[in-house]
Structure 1
């Protein structure tokens, strides 16, 4: 499902070049859940963006569902994301001029899926947001906005869901609810789930845990059964 080969990312810096990722290899099977942990600045979010095709590596390649991102144009990568990938951002990134319902409908409409309004409304109902679907993001709490973002990411039933610090902006109670929601949707839909998180409790829910340190990735032994 996800295969990474010798992935590196280098960017210009005041001292020349900064190597953020250093020849990473990674393979995650379909339906698995995986967490990427590590200190701030270690390259976690950069790796997640590369896995989703939101950025391009300096070296190496990412294969999603057997397709090489390096061989694709930006338009082709965007089409693959629309077809197979969902992404939950830490900052939600809901469009402020659209209601919760319209935010969830948008990827369905862009993908040309049938009955986008009905599909979006049903998903918001499942996430206990039916009574809030006609509200704008500014009128929603942080937890509600995150649930809308998750609904949007799941709306087209992607094969892969990437989530960058999905509980990072939330209080403990709401974060626990979002964690339960992510993994219940993962189990019910069979979606491959890849998370970046600082929350150990969230990482513990995953089948596999990887640690990023100084641009290098290693898999950690599981501390307890999933």
Structure 2
């Protein structure tokens, strides 16, 4: 059995206010082996995106622990967690999070330049070609459709060749044909580079392509295969 690259033990997330206590996640435990693919599915408000944020170290649990790439996140400060993510993690968000002041090529080049890659421009062009946007390299996010912006975001996530790719509804804003292309790219990355995929998705067909899935409802883990 492969070494787990993500381990979560008894994760809970509680938000308190003077009026009430909202338990978003309740005692969730899981592990993801290196090179595997995991789909997190569930209805809206079930805690899927919250769980993704905790696993990636973007948020901290109210209780429990996450071990990411061999590092217990609870022992790291914010800067150390950011450094860990920069070395091991890529992200695809439904909201794209592209930099509006950079064109598509520059958005994809950015993580490559941060890693000191001298071939950043060439690699970024190749990645944009892979997602079908070679002709749109000089366009800014405001000049691209939602689906095109998502493809730029996925190319940017691929750029640093991450050990782990977290994706929140990666095909949610795409038409069926483009969504299929992006799904194929995600699993190509998983297969060719051994990248571990953790996906939040509402699409059953995408979830079925993963090697495992878990179902959250009301913040609790319902089933896993």
Indicate whether the TM-score tops 0.5: yes
Q: Give the alignment's TM-score, normalised by structure 2.
A: 0.93
- Find the counterpart in structure 2 of residue 115 from structure 1: 119
Aligned residue number for residue 99 of structure 2:
95
Taking the aligned partners of 1:113 and 1:106, their CA distance within structure 2 comes to: 10
Aligned: 1:147 with 2:147 = no
Q: Is the 8 A contact 2:150 2:173 kept in 1?
A: no
Match in the other structure for 2:88 = 84
- 1:32 maps to 36
Counterpart for residue 16 of structure 1: 20
Task: Give the structure 2 partner of residue 74 of structure 1.
Answer: 78
Distance in 1 (CA, whole Å) between partners of 2:177 and 2:42 is: 23
Q: Secondary structure at the match of 2:94?
A: coil
Take 1:19 and 1:57, find their aligned partners in 2: how far apart are those partners?
Answer: 11
CA–CA distance in 2 between the matches of 1:153 and 1:69?
Answer: 22
Q: 2:213 maps to which residue?
A: 209
Change (3 A) 1:108 1:66: same
Query: Distance in 1 between the 2:17 and 2:176 partners?
Result: 37
Gaps spanning 5+ residues in structure 2: where?
Answer: none
Trace 1:22-61 onto structure 2 (pairs within 5 A): 22-61=26-65
Q: 1:190 aligns with which of 178, 194, 199?
A: 194
Counterpart in the other structure of 1:224: none
Q: Describe the SS at the equivalent of 1:185.
A: helix
Whether 1:174 and 2:178 are equivalent positions in the alignment is yes
- Given candidates 157, 179, 182, the residue that maps to 2:161 is 157
**Which sections of structure 1, spanning at least 5 residues, go unmatched?**
222-226
Counterpart secondary structure, 2:38: strand
> CA separation in 2, counterparts of 1:112 and 1:16?
48
The answer to whether the Cα contact below 8 Å between 2:131 and 2:182 also exists between their aligned partners in 1 is: no
SS at match of 1:70: helix
Deviates more, 1:51-60 or 1:181-190: 181-190
State TM-score, norm by structure 1: 0.92
Mapped to 2, the partners of 1:174 and 1:5 lie a distance apart of 36
Rounded to whole Å, the distance in 1 between the matches of 2:103 and 2:146 is 15
